[in-house]
Amino acid sequence: MITPRKWLPTPVLSLLLLFVWLLMARSYAPGQILLGGTLAILIPLVTYRFWDGHMQIKKPRLLVRFILRVLKDIVIANFEVARLLINPWKRLNPHFIEYPLMLEERFTITVLASTISLTPGTVSANLRLDGKSLLIHVLDIEDEQALIEQIRERYERPLKEIYEC
Amino acid sequence: MAFIAEALVSLMLVTGGVFVFIGSLGMAHLRDFYMRLHGPTKASTLGIGCMLVASMGYFWGVDGHIDIQEMLITLFLFITAPVSAHLLAKTGLHLRLKHAKKTGGVPFELRDEEVGKKPVPHPDKGHG
């Protein structure tokens, strides 16, 4: 027997959409709430098929710490990259590294890849088809092994704890 | 608006401008495509972030209440910038764009000869 599709597949996403809509509209008039609410119900229904599985946040407190750490790293990353770019005597050593992934879920890998792209001198370039390693381009490398360790300890392990363990 | 608030807003604007400028400078003078990608993903996120904070502060000073829309713009920027950078890099690899001579650890996509083993698609976890 075919079970009917749920009317509200992702309640959290719907609430978030409504919230963002109201923030963007800058008003809490009933009309806006009605329009936002309709969209918040329709959008998840349309995009439902593109979401695979629902990730559960196991440790919200760790997530907050992770976000704060990433924000701090983004600021530092900007200063570092700016320094590298405007220093005429600095010779850059670009490097590709193959980063072995510990994470397994697609969602967490996406978060990790985005984090890597936003932080010091690294851009994630490709995810291998088997989902086991990530190709990263580094603007100026000093020690490949140290960088892999740093990504592992700073970002990947917290992500694994937050979502997968 | 108080002098201090004005000074802070101006400082943020100037800082943001400097970062965006450096990012564009990097995009103009770095040697290969993969290095040029680093400019827009980082220098511009903080640059635009600074400008948006300045805008938030300015309207706080003028209107007297805080708008959160600027925060939303920053959030969307943080979500989209890495994704577009990743797709650009992937396209670059696919088209085998030239890389700087001294780039280390060149992946198999960019080499002429066949080296190592190519990763095979995993049966149930296809990320392609």
* Structure confidence by residue, pLDDT tens digits, A115-154: 888 876 788 888 877 778 888 888 888 788 888 888 888 8
**At residue B1, does pLDDT exceed 60?**
yes
E-strand ranges in A2-132 read 95-100, 122-127
- Judge: B125–A131 Cβ closer than 8 Å, yes or no: yes
Q: Confidence class of residue B126 from pLDDT cuts 50, 70 and 90?
A: very low
CB of B119 within 8 Å of a chain A CB? The answer is yes
Compare all CA atoms of chain B with the CA of A20 and give the residue at the minimum distance.
Answer: B72
Question: Which tops the pLDDT comparison, B82 or B117?
Answer: B82
- What residues does A135 pair with on adjacent strands? A98, A126
A vs B: CB pairs below 8 A: 145
Residues of A in contact with B127 (CB under 8 A): 106, 109, 127-131
3-state SS assignment for residue A135: strand
- Judge: A129–B93 Cβ closer than 8 Å, yes or no: no
Averages of pLDDT over each 10 residues, chain A, 165 residues:
62 84 83 89 81 71 88 83 77 83 82 84 81 83 84 86 76
Residues of B in contact with A74 (CB under 8 A): 42, 45-46
pLDDT attached to residue B100: 78
3-state SS assignment for residue B28: helix
Token pair of B35, please?
Answer: 């290095």
pLDDT attached to residue B81: 85
Question: pTM of the entire structure?
Answer: 0.78
- Judge: B69–A24 Cβ closer than 8 Å, yes or no: yes
Residues of A in contact with B79 (CB under 8 A): 114
Nearest to A147 by CA among A87, A78, A106, A98: A98
CB of B107 within 8 Å of a chain A CB? The answer is yes
* Structure confidence by residue, pLDDT tens digits, B9-66: 999 999 999 888 888 887 887 778 888 888 777 777 788 888 888 988 888 888 877 7
Compare all CA atoms of chain B with the CA of A75 and give the residue at the minimum distance.
Answer: B46
pLDDT attached to residue B47: 85
Nearest to A11 by CA among A43, A50, A35: A43
Residues of B in contact with A86 (CB under 8 A): 22, 25
Containing H/E element for A50? none
pLDDT attached to residue B14: 93
- Judge: B122–A93 Cβ closer than 8 Å, yes or no: no
ipTM higher than the 0.90 cut? no
